[in-house]
Amino acid sequence: MTLSVQDALDALPDGALVAGPDGVVLLVNQLAATMLGVPPQDLLGGTLDEVLTLQDQDGNKWCHSNQPYGGLSTRTGVPEQSWLLPSGTEVLVAARIQRATLDGPVTQVAVSLRSGRWRARLDRDRSDLVATVAHELRSPLTGVKGFVQALLNRWEKLTDEQKKLMLTTVNADSDRLARLIAELLDVARIDTGRLSMYPRPSDVETLTRRVVDSVSAGTSRSIELIVDGELPEVSVDPDKFTQVVTNLVENGVRHGEGTVRVRAGALPDDAEFAGVRMTVDDEGEGIAPEIRRRVFTKFWKHGQRGGSGLGMYIVNGLVRAHGGTLEISDAPDGGARIEIAWPTEDRRPA
């Protein structure tokens, strides 16, 4: 099957126009004609300046502002810019400028028009993110401000016990703010690829036992550590490893009801890579298969128990940054199982 040039243009996901050396439109696809609100046959033969009825917020026309046939002879294109159609709809417009020789006259200008809806959606997503972050920060900050204000206004009337209780609450809310800010910074570093890691051969049992002992000291829940045989060393950043395991154990305590079990053992010989398999099981409600992929998105929360909703996003990012893998399944005794494979060798992505 042979496709004509027009059929190929009409198959493109963006609007497209091609003008010759004199600025006359030679080709236009159906989507571009639809965006401009003019039948394709009425656009052919017109000049690019007449056909591209696009304006910016100040009423300037695209051709007048960008001069595709003028300017430096070394120009090869016009970068993507936001313009408005006659209907007021935003489109993103870019152009490719072609010449027969490097410094010769323009022989062809190809213009693409892309719907601006995706950018509007991105703006909405950013606004939602800002609103969520603001809400998460405001909650502990409101508590801090309220108790500080009460202390300032009623200092002489409060007993020492009341003052101590208020200051203890302020301290706890301040810690919560600090943790949230640290999590937001981790998210930014993961998203931008600027995560600093210093992996080295590490003892999984020693690091994990420290986490279990630390979390156990702050809860009445039972936390068990089970080590299956001798474990190989893994190539991890000890601080990041501790952060991952702490987050998972605390999640098990927060969302489960019974014992949290942490188990570590060597990966089987047929595994993708050599290393340690670690599982964290709780006895809570578990995570339904259809929503498991959402667990690793930002601000995802499950159930009614606290948390910022960033923990599992960070955990997944840190494990992947080490070249490890992470999966969610059902724990044998009910609840959720988080399974991580930590590599023996440095498998960080390039």
Whether residue 325 sits in one domain with residue 221? yes
Measured distance CA(145)–CA(156) in Å, rounded: 19
Residues 185 and 236 in one domain: no
Question: How confident is residue 2, by pLDDT bands cut at 50, 70 and 90?
Answer: low
- Say whether pLDDT at 18 is over 90: yes
Statement to judge: residues 312 and 234 lie in one domain: yes
Question: Mind listing the pLDDT tens digit for each residue in 181-202?
Answer: 888 888 888 888 888 889 999 9
User: Distance between CA 233 and CA 212 in Å, rounded?
Assistant: 19
* 249 domain residue, yes or no: yes
Stretch among 26-30, 113-117, 243-247, 261-265 having the lowest mean pLDDT:
113-117
The answer to the question of residue 279 being in a domain is yes
Place of tokens 């430096």: 72
Domain shared by 286 and 152, yes or no: no
- Confidence band for 87, pLDDT divided at 50, 70 and 90: confident
Residue 125 three-state SS: helix
Q: How far apart are CA 274 and CA 222, in angstroms?
A: 31
Q: Is residue 350 part of a domain?
A: no
**Does residue 262 form part of some domain?**
yes
Q: Is residue 348 domain-resident?
A: no
The tokens describing 147, both together, are 């108790």
Q: How confident is the model at residue 120 (pLDDT cuts 50, 70, 90)?
A: low
Q: What is the pLDDT, as a whole number, of residue 100?
A: 87
Residues 166 and 287 in one domain: no
Q: Is residue 17 part of a domain?
A: yes
> What is the model's pLDDT at position 128?
67
Among candidate residues 84, 115, 146, the one where a domain is terminated: 115
> What is the total count of domains within the chain?
3
What element of type H or E holds 172?
A: helix 160-192
Chain Cα centroid distance, residue 286: 24
Q: Does 321 lie in the same domain as 260?
A: yes
- Answer yes or no: do 213 and 328 share one domain: yes
- Shared domain for 228 and 303, answered yes or no, is yes
Residue 73 lies in a domain: yes
CATH of the domain at 10: 3.30.450.20
User: Which position has the higher pLDDT, 80 or 123?
Assistant: 80
- Structural domain boundaries, residue 19: 5-115
Element (H, E) at 35: helix 30-36
Do 176 and 254 fall into the same domain?
no
Strand, coil or helix: 176:
helix
Q: Judge if 240 and 175 occupy the same domain.
A: no
Residue with tokens 């600027």: 194
Do 205 and 333 belong together in one domain?
Answer: yes
Residue after which a domain boundary falls, among 70, 89, 115? 115
Mean pLDDT of the chain: 87
Domain membership flag for residue 349 = no
- Pull the structure tokens for residue 308: 């910022």
Q: What is the pLDDT of residues 296-334, one digit of tens each?
A: 887 776 655 555 678 888 899 999 999 999 999 988 877
To the question of pTM greater than 0.85 for the whole model, the response is no
Q: What CATH number did the domain enclosing 181 receive?
A: 1.10.287.130
Backbone φ, ψ for residue 90 (5° rounding): -80, 135
Cα–Cα distance between 252 and 226 in angstroms, integer? 16
Boundary residue ending a domain (132, 167, 192): 192
Q: pLDDT-based confidence at 233, cuts 50/70/90? A: very high
Reported as a pLDDT band with limits 50, 70 and 90, residue 290 is confident
With cut-offs at 50, 70 and 90, classify the pLDDT of residue 27: very high
Is the same domain home to 238 and 103?
A: no
